Amino acid sequence: MSPASTKSLEFEEILHKHRTIEDLKKNPYIAAQKVFKDFDLDTYLIRAVDNLTLEIAEHEYIAIVGASGAGKTTLLHLLAGLDRSTKGNLFLSYVNINPMAEETLTIFRIFTVGVIFQNYNLISSLTALENIMFPMQLSGMEPLECKSRAEKLLAMIKLEERAGHLPFQLSAGEQQRIAIARALANDPPIILADEPTANLDQKNATFIGELFEKFRQEGKTIILATHDEKLIKFAHRVLVMEDGQIIKDERIEDVAFEEFPEKEKPENDSPPEK
C-alpha cells in the first residue's frame, strides 16, 4: 500500500470516528464555544481569549480586525487546531477537535486547513518548490504528483521562475506568495491567514487580495486577521476583537460563490458521436 493511500485512509478513519451524520446536522462548521486561552508567564497570567463564542458557516469569508494584542492571532491558532484552548470547545469542519489526540489532530489538520502566517514560516533550507511540496509529502502524496501540483501552484502565483530559489533569495512579497501556495498544497476547504499583506508593498498586497477573492469565489471558507481594506472589502462578515473578545459582528453580504465543474457536460443526454 502506498504512503498516499495510507494517509488518506487514516484521514477517512478519523472522519468515520469523529464526524457522524448526526454531527453534520447538529454541529457548526467552525466554532468556538465559551473558549478561554490563558498563557502563564510565571509571575502573571495573560488571558488572550476570554469566554469567546463564535460560529462560522461553510464558504464564509471572515475578516477579524482589532488592535495589536486583541487576541486575533491566538484565535486563529485555536480555530486551526495549532493550539489548544484552556477551556471551551472548538469545532473544525463539523468536528469537535478538543478530544483528539495530537497525532490524530495533525492528520486531520493536514487535509482540512491551510494556514498562512504573517512571517511566512518557510523552511529556510528548502527551495520555493520544495516548500510548496512539503505539506503534500506529509499527506503521503506520490513524489511526481507533489512536484506537478507544486508547479501548478507556482504558476498560479506567477513565480515559476523562482522555483529553485531559497527563501532568503526571495522578496517579502514573493515569500508570502509561496506561503499562500503552500497553504493550498493539499487543497484544503478552509484557509486561515494572519495579516497576510502586513509586510508587503502595494503591488504584492493587491495581488494577494485578488487571490483571496478568487478563493472566496471558489467557495473556500476563509478566516483572516487583517487591517487591509483590500481584503476586508471582500468579506461576508467583519468581526471586531478587543481584549480577547468579539465586541462586534457585522454581516456585510450574503455568501455566494462560483462552482467550477471538472469538465463541461453535454447539453443533452445523447452519447457522443464516434
**Predicted local distance difference test score (pLDDT) of residue 262:** 44
**Predicted local distance difference test score (pLDDT) of residue 230:** 86
Task: Report whether pLDDT(165) > 50.
Answer: yes
Task: Report whether pLDDT(64) > 90.
Answer: yes
Q: Measured between alpha carbons, how far is 225 from 227 in angstroms, rounded to an integer? A: 7
Q: Measured between alpha carbons, how far is 63 from 196 in angstroms, rounded to an integer? A: 12
**Predicted local distance difference test score (pLDDT) of residue 180:** 96
Mean pLDDT of 109-138: 96
Residue 272, all three cell numbers = 457522443
- For the chain, give the mean pLDDT: 90
Q: Measured between alpha carbons, how far is 176 from 198 in angstroms, rounded to an integer? A: 10
Number of neighbours of residue 123 by Cβ within 10 angstroms:
12
**Predicted local distance difference test score (pLDDT) of residue 259:** 57
CA distances from 28 to 9, 12, 91 (A): 25, 20, 7
**Predicted local distance difference test score (pLDDT) of residue 248:** 97
Among 99, 104, 80, CA closest to 7: 104
* Cβ atoms 191, 220 nearer than 8 A: yes
265: left (phi over 0), alpha (psi -120 to 50) or beta: beta
Task: Report whether pLDDT(54) > 50.
Answer: yes
Task: Report whether pLDDT(274) > 50.
Answer: no
Task: Report whether pLDDT(271) > 50.
Answer: no
Task: Report whether pLDDT(269) > 50.
Answer: no
Number of neighbours of residue 36 by Cβ within 10 angstroms:
17
Which CATH class name applies to 58-84+101-251? alpha beta
Confidence of residue 5 (pLDDT cuts 50, 70, 90): low
Q: What is the pTM of this model?
A: 0.88
Task: Report whether pLDDT(266) > 90.
Answer: no
Q: Measured between alpha carbons, how far is 250 from 63 in angstroms, rounded to an integer? A: 10
**Predicted local distance difference test score (pLDDT) of residue 135:** 95
User: Percent of the chain, pLDDT > 90?
Assistant: 74
Mean pLDDT of 29-36: 97
Domain coordinates of the chain in residue numbers?
A: 58-84+101-251
User: Percent of the chain, pLDDT > 70?
Assistant: 92
In our burial notation (b when 16+ CB lie closer than 10 A, e otherwise), range 238-261 reads: bbbbeebbbeeeeeeeeeeeeeee
